[in-house]
Amino acid sequence: STTVDSSLPLSGQHVVVTLGGTKEPIDPVRYIGNRSSGRQGMAIATQALAAGARVTVIAAHHEVSAPAGVTVVSAPTALKMQAAIAQVWDDLDVLVMAAAVADYRPAEYHGEKLKKASGKLNRIELVENPDVLAHFGHLERGSRFLVGFAAETLTGEDAKEAAQAKIFAKRVDLLALNLVGESTGFGDVPNSLIMMDSAGEIVAQFAGTKIEVAQALINQIVLARESREE
């Protein structure tokens, strides 16, 4: 529908959520990728929509479908994701970078499937991908609000320090620290997030289903943007 409920906390706002793990192709059948089902990101998109926002999902890959009313753009690699965000940058208010972006990609793409016996599959040269979030974090951002994620297998102070380094390097307004392991964080499982502000302070912590965590994250974005206006 075209009705805008202006009483909702994100009405009139365009929220862009990137999600899923990028797949950096080696040849037509093989890739180097990052684990991420896109479920947490899709839950965030769902809750942003419920909060009245116009929502665009930029998906590297997703194992769950998008709710009706969300625009989905496909961006399977880091470079394509950066280009897709650039397309909507002028028109976005909140960017939630939930995608698991591969840090490196194969230096060359082979248009033909490499044969096992070719001797080319045991050493694949990699080149660094751009840090997409840092790229946008360093642009003239106006009132745009940037949310990053940090996946860490570290614990305690070490995890906090690693997250702080990411906050400063990428210039995010809010960072969701996700403590991941073999059996936590990925897939159809509950999640827990430690929220940190642009100064690197812990401002909230929440655990629950991915939809509960997404709702808490949206609330945190609304709160942080309100306090910035004061």
Which amino acid, residue 61? H
Quick check: 105 binds ligand CTP (CB under 6 A)? no
**x/- map, 5-44, ligand CTP, by CB under 6 A:** ----------------------------------------
Cβ contacts of residue 13 below 8 Å, gap of 6+? 52, 53, 54, 93, 94
Ligand-binding site membership of 120 (annotated): no
The Cα–Cα gap between 173 and 190 comes to 25
- By CB under 6 A, tell whether 148 contacts ligand CTP: yes
Annotated binding-site residue? 170: yes
What is the gyration radius of the CA atoms in the chain, in angstroms?
A: 18
Closer residue to ligand CTP in complex, CB, 103/197? 103
Instruction: Mention every residue, 6+ apart, whose C-beta is less than 8 A from residue 172.
Output: 97, 133, 137, 146, 147, 148, 166, 198
Query: Could you tell me which residues come within 8 angstroms of residue 200 by beta carbon, excluding any fewer than 6 positions away?
Result: 163, 164, 167, 168
CA–CA separation, 122 and 119 (whole Å): 7
Site for ligand CTP, residues 71 to 90, rule: CB under 6 A: 78
Tokens of 132: 């997409």
By C-beta, is 162 or 222 nearer to ligand CTP? 162
Tell which residue, 127, 217, 202, has the closest CA to residue 167: 202
Residue 21 bridge partners (DSSP) = 100
Residues 89-108 that bind Ca ion (CB under 5 A): 103
**85 residue type, one letter:** I
Please identify which residue in 129, 164, 215, 220 interacts with ligand CTP, judged by CB under 6 A.
129
- The residue (of 52 and 146) whose beta carbon lies closer to ligand CTP is 146
Active-site hit among 34, 129, 178, 191 = 34
Task: Specify whether 34 is catalytic.
Answer: yes
**Does 154 sit near ligand CTP (CB under 6 A)?**
no
Residue 166 annotated as binding?
yes
Binding residues for ligand CTP, rule: CB under 6 A, are 78, 97, 99, 101, 103, 129, 131-133, 148-151, 166, 170
Q: Which residues are catalytic?
A: 34
- Return binding residues for CTP: 103, 113, 130-133, 149, 166, 170
Binding residues for Ca ion, rule: CB under 5 A, are 103
